[in-house]
Structure 1
Amino acid sequence: MNFLAHLYLSGESDELILGNFIGDYVKGQQYLNYREDVQRGILLHRRIDSFTDNHQLVRQCARRFQPSYGRYAGIVTDVVFDHFLAKYWSAYSVYTLRQFSKHVHAVLLSNFIQLPSRVKGFLPFFIQHRRLESYAHAEGIRQSLEIMGRRTSLPEQTDFAMQVLTDEFGLIREEFEAFFSELVYFSENTFGVEIKKPVTHGLWADNVL
């Protein structure tokens, strides 16, 4: 999953938020250099990634992007899934996306000294451009993929990804919702994460949650 989903799945714990956000940038046993609950956040990040990478619905969705992205199709799927989480945020959280984003920014800034150097490098841009909120709009997803295409090994095939998202929007949304409800359940029950959801919303009515 991408940034927004990882942060959402950290629930109400600032320590989990911090650990989950930096999870990709803390390798091997380096996580032991952090406080206990931050360690849990890093380990949660790894478990979320493993659960996601091995889920049939995620692999099914990723196949749509493989013609242009090959083995990087899963990364595009992660970004696209963040779009659905942001776009329909009110179905998943009692907080507005703006409130949630501002809290995340405050947590990261107050723990700036603990952040890996690569995170320190991109965090000002991340906050200034309201990256988490931008995921709610197609243009924000386009910008994210374009940035990744320029700065990482992700192929520069943004037009293809956006066309797939447009053409397959309804089906991808169904796959996301089915998968994400399972991922929320996994995070809550494996790590004891407390996520404040609008439980009266129809999305959760028939779910094991």
Structure 2
Amino acid sequence: MNFLAHLYLSDNHKELTVGNFMGDFVKGSQLDYLPELVAKGVILHREIDSYTDSHPIVLKSKDKLREKYRHYAGVIVDMYYDHFLAINFNKYHSLKLNEFAQQKYALLQNHWDLIPPRGQNMLPYMIRGDWLTNYAKKEGLHRALTGLSRRTKFKSNLEMAIQDLVAHYDEFEAEFKQFFDEIQPHISQFREDLIISKL
């Protein structure tokens, strides 16, 4: 799952949302210095990633891309799935996508001091480019994949992945919808158990 899905799966819990956004930027003992609910948001992020990466439907999506993109297949599927969440957002949330995005950008800016440097470096670009809303557009997704391709250490060909999305669009969308129907109840229960548990 990519940024949009992570933020969506945090529900309306502000501190969990901030921690979930920070998940990829928090390493090791850094978790110990965060407010409890923000730290739980990081744990939520890791559970979402773990559940997603091992799910048979996601593995099926990755298999279509693995020969061409190898270990980047998972990154591409994460971004494809955010695209499908974005275009179907009104089916999953009461807010319009642009309203949801602006709400989350404001929340993250209000917790700026908690976000690790790598996240602080990225967040202004995310807001300026309105990544969450632009995932809904194929050209926006293509820009995101191209930008990511420029930042990979090795040649990834990520900028070509939009062609594979178009070629298998209906299959990827069906797989996303089936997977998302399964991850939502799992993460909802995990999230509620996490809130009442002790770290």
State the TM-score bracket (shorter-chain normalisation). over 0.9
Using the alignment, how far apart are the partners of 2:112 and 2:97 within structure 1? 22
1:15–1:34 Cα change, 3 Å: same
Code of the aligned partner of 1:111: H
The answer for the alignment partner of 2:177 in structure 1 is 177
Q: Which runs of 5+ in 1 are unaligned?
A: 194-209
Code of the aligned partner of 1:7: L
The answer for the alignment partner of 1:113 in structure 2 is 113
Using the alignment, how far apart are the partners of 1:166 and 1:154 within structure 2? 25
Deviations 1:79-103 (CA, angstroms, capped at 9, x unpaired): 0100000011111100111111111
Which aligned pairs between 1:83-98 and structure 2 lie closer than 5 A? 83-98=83-98
Using the alignment, how far apart are the partners of 1:153 and 1:53 within structure 2? 22
The answer for the alignment partner of 1:80 in structure 2 is 80
Code of the aligned partner of 2:55: H
Q: What's the Cα RMSD here?
A: 1.3
The answer for the alignment partner of 1:141 in structure 2 is 141
Using the alignment, how far apart are the partners of 2:185 and 2:147 within structure 1? 32
Deviating more after overlay: 27-36 vs 70-79 = 27-36
Q: CA deviation at 1:133?
A: 0.3
- Asked whether 1:30 is paired with 2:30, we answer yes
Using the alignment, how far apart are the partners of 2:188 and 2:47 within structure 1? 12
Q: CA deviation at 1:69?
A: 0.9
Q: CA deviation at 1:154?
A: 6.5
Q: CA deviation at 1:38?
A: 0.5
Instruction: Classify the secondary structure of the residue corresponding to 1:6.
Output: helix
Q: Which runs of 5+ in 2 are unaligned?
A: 194-199
Deviations 1:25-58 (CA, angstroms, capped at 9, x unpaired): 1012321211111011100000000000000010
Give 4+ residue runs of structure 1 displaced > 2 Å after superposition.
Answer: 152-156
The answer for the alignment partner of 2:166 in structure 1 is 166
The answer for the alignment partner of 1:52 in structure 2 is 52
Q: CA deviation at 1:159?
A: 5.0
Deviations 1:155-182 (CA, angstroms, capped at 9, x unpaired): 4424531121111111111100010111
Using the alignment, how far apart are the partners of 1:154 and 1:75 within structure 2? 14
Contact 1:58 1:175 in 2 (8 A): yes
The answer for the alignment partner of 2:150 in structure 1 is 150
Q: TM-score, normalised by structure 1?
A: 0.89
Contact 1:23 1:41 in 2 (8 A): yes
Code of the aligned partner of 2:80: V
Deviating more after overlay: 58-67 vs 130-139 = 58-67
Deviating more after overlay: 128-137 vs 147-156 = 147-156
Instruction: Classify the secondary structure of the residue corresponding to 1:63.
Output: helix
The answer for the alignment partner of 1:9 in structure 2 is 9
Using the alignment, how far apart are the partners of 1:45 and 1:17 within structure 2? 9
The answer for the alignment partner of 1:207 in structure 2 is none
- By percentage of residues, which structure has more helix? 2
